[in-house]
Every structure is written in structure tokens, then in C-alpha cells.
Structure 1
Amino acid sequence: MADFTQDDLRDLMSKWLEPERMPKRFRIVTDTTDFYRVDYDDVAIFEGRPYLIRNVEKEGRFGIDEQPKFWVKRAIDLITGETKIIKLVFWERFTAKVGGISFECFRSPKKEARILDLVKGHPNFMQGFSVEDSVGNLIRIIDYIKGKTLSDLVFSIKKPHEEYFHDDLPSLLKSYTEIIDAVRFLHNHGEKHGDIRRDHILKDTKTGEYKWIDFDFNYYHGENKFGYDLFGLGNILIFLVGGGDVTIQGLADKPDILDSINGNDTNIVFHNRVANLKKVYPYIPDELNYILLHFSNGAAVFYESTDELFSDMEKAINKIC
């Protein structure tokens, strides 16, 4: 393991920082158990490699202001100057309910480390590797992806829905099938993403590829090991087809449509969102709406695999492309 003195680290910093940004003093951190104490201008050293800690990463979700993720730091690799995302160990668990089915969810650094090895070189996943700190905490070092989330991209399209549907949705759905295929890759190797959400898909500005991020959540499953992932994919599809979330509240000024909506037409996860979007936008082809109905409260059957969802998506895309 390489040993660095303060002077060694200052020399390395000087390669990547302007003189006015050089810290006057800094701590060297090797034990990250208390991730709150790993702070700006600290130098974290993992298995002989130094990283200068900069910002705490933030995450916005469903219109909520960005929340700091204190266990996730942005850093500079002092050997290469590259920006890295450093994910420290944070234990969290919660119970999610979907259609009367409970999923016990929990963070698993080991799972994310395992998947990072599995997806190395795959264009639709974030890239990185895992290391241990001085006391054995499993740290994940992730390549920084410059880009926008899928949700931000959709929200940036300011068009009436029918225009969006014909001009923009076809290409978005083609990209959606690619990210289904990426999840299918995980499932075929016995792994789950675990936290499938539209803000966990980034479009890489450099390559134009959509990439899955943040797969450290795991969940205990019942009969269908991949059920929770599939519900997440369904929520993303409903969001894409609607050009955003179509809510019961948002239909208040369209009483004819609102009166036609019943409980079976709503999203099985988010009961104020409409899943049966053909009642709102009648030009949606039956083949596409058929898929949406699998994720509604009125669904008689659910998708059992990404293979089934992928196959139906290919048929639906042929109707609108």
C-alpha cells in the first residue's frame, strides 16, 4: 500500500487544482465508517489510491427539492485527475408495497460491487469497481457520468401531448427497450437492479447512451424474484407514454375524461396516477396501452419476466414508428 505524506498529496493536488482552490489544510481519511465526517477537502485513501473529496451528491425525486446523500461523495482521483463518485457504506431498509405484495428492501454494498464486476464494459450501466477501506467497509468507486436523467429529458420537452407522442416518443421508446434489455441482462445472470426509477437512468452526454445507475438496493422476493424490478419498468413506461405523470388531480379541468376513470385505471403503485392512458389520449395504439394495463390496479396478470415485456414492447413500437 502506498504511503502519502501531506507534501506528497499537495504535489498531487497541484496538478489538478488552481492555486486559489488548494486547501490550506486537509485530513487524511482511511476509515469511512462515519460517512458524515468524510468532508470537503479531505483526502480519502483506499488501497493506496488517494481521492480528494469535493461535494456531497444530491438526489431529486418526484418534484422534491434535491436531498443530500451524505454517503455519496464526488471526488477527484489525485492520480489521474478524473472525477469519481465514491459510495460509502450506508445501511438502510424499508418495506415497499405493490398491489398488496410487500417487498422488504435494503441496501447491499456487496450486491452493487458484484454487479459492477458483471456489467464491466456494458454500455447501459454505470462503470466502476469496489475497494475496502482500512476497516473493511466496501467502497464503490464510480466513473462520473455527465448527463441528464430520463425524467429531466422528458420534462424538458415542451409540446402538446399529441405532438410529443408522434415526434418524440418513438425514439424514447426505442431507448426504453434498450434499457429493458439491460435489465434483462442482469436478470439472466440472476441479479436484480433493485431500485428501478426514471431518475436512475442517465443519458450520457458524451456517448448518447442511456445508463442505469445506483443498483445497491436489494429486496427479499416472493414467488417472482424480479417482480419489483418489473413494476419499476412499468412505472417508467407509463411516465414516458404520458409525457409526464398523468394524475387524477391533473384531470380536474377535463370532467368528461375524469368521469371515465375508475380505480382499475390507476397505477398499481401510485394510485393517483393514470395507467390506462388510452382513456386520456385515445390515439395511443391498443398494443401499447395493453402493456400499460399490466401495471394498473385492474390488471388480472402481471409480467413474469423482462423477456415478456421486451417482446410486447417490440410489437408496440412497430405500431408507432
Structure 2
Amino acid sequence: MTAAKNLSASDIADLIRVYAGPAAVPKNFRIIADTSDFFKLDYNDVVLLGDNAYWVKRYEKEGRFGIDDQPKYWVRRAIDLKTGETKILKLVFHEEFITRIAGLEIKCFRSPRKEARILDLVAQDDRFMHGTWTRDEAGNNVRILEFIYGRSIDRVIEDDDGDHYEYFHQRFPQILAHYIEMVQAIKFLHDHGEKHGDIRRDHIFWDRERERYRWIDFDYNYLHGESMFAFDLQGLGNIIIYLVGRGDILVPDLYHNQRELFDLLWGEDLNISYKNRVANLKKIFPYIPESLNRVLLHFSHGAKIFYETTGQLLDDLAEAQAEVAAQTGRQS
């Protein structure tokens, strides 16, 4: 393939014709080498990066907090005109926000350089999304990611149509095994002095082709105090609470629909990050083993001791997994 910067509009039209057919070639399209203003990128534009060209097809959407239709204009799905593969282009977007955990404010921000660094670190590790990075004509750090065909772990959990008892005894042992593997993957990052930065359930993705769960999206970073990994650990806690409960057990729902369970709760039973979610799930589902519930309580308002490392969490999860297996009669 000719160096991308030397490609003419005719060359690009020929490449599009190869992968999409003559009818798909746009009558007019722009060739973009500077992605600084990602809002100007439009459908059918072609982005030149390194020695390659990418035919932009759409922007991705945000799944955070359930707002699935929130556009992410800095994240574009595109066709690699060298291979015909679908790729995700993550453009430079400097976003900052403040989050709070247990009364502490934590400043979070996007760091393209951090994500690029982690992509290099995990290039041979299938527990993470893969990709490369390069700089555009203006020096912007653009990450070029493999497209994962699949869906997030919360969507997988939502497919269960039995009651919670059936879910916990039939599906949860395997879900727990997958979760432990994902915690081990985060330990790998921590052992190399890196943070994921944005651990949440829609960032664990089931890859249908590789038949495994994988972490995605590493571009958030945060300013940490004494505990470098506290925010990552809290994210892991929120996920295990969700997986054990087969969804968030919300205080308002209990108040309106299961008042007898609501009356059992105290403030200390709630999630330390989200006061409307229950962390002490044994009060809701009495058959949850004590060892597993103790893990959940580390992320509750009543917690006296918090996990400082993923190793500590993994030690407790091993005990919980053994008890879950013994109770359910299923080896993970």
C-alpha cells in the first residue's frame, strides 16, 4: 500500500471499491490528516494515520449510567483500508470530572498517553482489548483498536430469565470464575505500576470470537493519594456486588415492592459509592455464603477495613469461590 500521506482521492476510492464494492464509493469525501477537531469528522471521511487510511462509518455511543444513546464523537468506527477490518479510532479528548467515594473527592481525567502505554503492555494478553497507537499530522495520539464482536458482562447477566436462586446456583459459579480472572488481569496492571482508571461492568466485554471476557477502555486516569489503586478496587467491588445480585439491588425498589426486606436494612448495609444500592446482599438472599458476603461488605458503608491491593481481594475471592462451589455443587 502506498504511504497514506501520498494517497490521492482516486487511490482511496479504489481501496473502498475493493472492500465495499463500486456502489459504496462516496461521490464526495474528505481526506483528514489532522484529527484535532474531532467534531468535524463526518460519515465517509477518510483519516490518514501513519501508513494507513481509515474510512469513517459512525461514532460510538456511551453506555455510562445507562445513557446508551449519548454520542462519543471522539470515538469513531472505521474500516481499515489496508485490510478491510473494522477498527475503533479513539481521538484525543481531554475530559476531566470529580467523583466521590466515602466523602473523598477524586479527580479523573482522560489520558491518551496512558492508554497507549497500556496497549503496548498488554499486546500479548487476551484478557485486554488490543490495538496500536500513532500520531496524526498534528501530533495527536490516536489509538487504533481492534473491534470486539460481543457485549458487556451486564448485558450477558441481563439475559438470565430465571429467579435469583436458579441464577446463583446454576450460572454464578462460572460468572465468579470469569470475574476472578478479570481481577487477576487488573493485578497484572497494578504489578506493572498501571491503573485501569475506569473499572465498571460495561468495560468487561465478552468477545464472541475468542470466547472470553476482556477489559476495554484504559484512557481514564486519576489523581491518587496514599492508595494508588483505591479507585480501581472500588470499581471491582461495584462489579462483584452487581454480579452476586444479578443486577443492582436498589433501595427504592425494596421500599416500594419488598418492604419486609427494606425494613431489615441499615445505612451500613449500603454501597459506599452508591447509597441507593445494597452491598450486604445476604440480607436479601440468605443463601449467599458468608465468605462471599464478607467480600461485598468491604465495599459497604459499614466497612472498617478496605482492600489495599488486588492480591488481598483475590485471596478472599478464592475462599469465597471454594464455598460457592461446595454449596452449589458446581466446580468452576
Q: Same fold (TM over 0.5)?
A: yes
Q: 1:60-108: CA deviations, max 9, x gaps?
A: 2343342110000000000100100000000000111101122110000
* 2:259 alignment partner, one of 255, 259, 269: 255
> Is the 2:128–2:214 contact (alpha carbons within 8 Å) kept by the matching residues of 1?
yes
Alignment of 1:162-177 (within 5 A): 162-177=165-180
- 2:224 is the alignment partner of 1:221: yes
Q: Determine helix, strand or coil for the equivalent of 1:316.
A: helix
1:154 counterpart residue number: 157
Shift of 1:191: 0.1
Letter in 1 for 2:306: F
Shift of 1:247: 0.6
Q: 1:100-145: CA deviations, max 9, x gaps?
A: 1221100000000000000011011000011000010000000000
Q: How many residues get paired?
A: 321
Point out the more displaced range, 200-209 or 230-239. 200-209
- 2:137 is the alignment partner of 1:128: no
- 2:308 is the alignment partner of 1:309: no
- Between the aligned partners of 1:234 and 1:134, the Cα distance in structure 2 is 41
1:50 counterpart residue number: 53
Listed as ranges, the gaps of 5+ residues in structure 1 are none
- 2:171 is the alignment partner of 1:185: no
Shift of 1:32: 0.4
Shift of 1:249: 1.3
Letter in 1 for 2:263: D
- Between the aligned partners of 1:167 and 1:224, the Cα distance in structure 2 is 37
* 1:265 alignment partner, one of 255, 264, 269: 269
Q: Determine helix, strand or coil for the equivalent of 1:73.
A: strand
TM-score by length of 1: 0.98
> Is the 2:31–2:48 contact (alpha carbons within 8 Å) kept by the matching residues of 1?
yes
TM-score by length of 2: 0.95
Listed as ranges, the gaps of 5+ residues in structure 2 are 326-332
- Between the aligned partners of 2:184 and 2:68, the Cα distance in structure 1 is 31
* 2:214 alignment partner, one of 211, 216, 219: 211
Alignment of 1:55-70 (within 5 A): 55-70=58-73
Shift of 1:200: 0.6
- Between the aligned partners of 2:263 and 2:224, the Cα distance in structure 1 is 37
2:24 counterpart residue number: 21
CA root-mean-square deviation: 0.9
Q: Determine helix, strand or coil for the equivalent of 1:192.
A: coil
